[in-house]
């Protein structure tokens, strides 16, 4: 059974729970590292927790959530080897995986999305990395880590 790691801060408790429920419904084993209350926690800490767990191996991808999705996605992308996408729709979610081999996806619990984030998560899960010319580009992207 495929496994996923999920973490959130206080700004995305409800959406995180929806994502966890959907992932479990779709047959994933979810390692939920997020919070379940609106007591303040820092999104960089939650991103780090999820990314370090993911890097231990055995996970298909990770999902991180905060109020906007911005802070937690930026934080996740600071961790070596993480490519975290913050999609605005299902097309962007699918392309993040197809072209960028994104291993994390982020959402904002306080964002009024034009489409349901669960649909975006589904599009991401249904997509797979296309390799080919995109492999070269992902390699260049990852070579930027620590280069400047």
Catalytic residues: 66, 99
- Dist CA 15 CA 106 (whole Å): 11
* Number of neighbouring beta carbons within 10 Å of residue 51: 24
- Cα-based distances in Å from 56 to 43, 49, 53, 59, 96: 20, 11, 5, 8, 22
């Amino acid at each position: 059974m495929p496994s996923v790691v999920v973490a959130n801060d206080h700004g995305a408790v409800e959406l995180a729970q929806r994502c966890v429920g959907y992932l479990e419904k779709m047959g994933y084993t979810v390692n939920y590292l997020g919070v379940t209350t609106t007591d303040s926690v820092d999104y960089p800490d939650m991103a780090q927790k999820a990314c370090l767990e993911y890097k231990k191996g055995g996970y298909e991808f990770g999902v991180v959530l905060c109020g906007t999705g911005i802070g937690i996605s930026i934080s996740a992308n600071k961790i070596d080897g993480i490519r975290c996408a913050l999609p605005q729709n299902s097309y962007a979610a699918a392309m993040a995986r197809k072209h960028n081999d994104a291993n994390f996806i982020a959402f904002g619990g306080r964002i009024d999305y034009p489409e349901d984030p669960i649909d975006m998560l589904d599009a991401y899960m249904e997509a797979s990395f296309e390799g080919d010319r995109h492999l070269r580009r992902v390699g260049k992207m990852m070579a930027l880590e620590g280069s400047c």
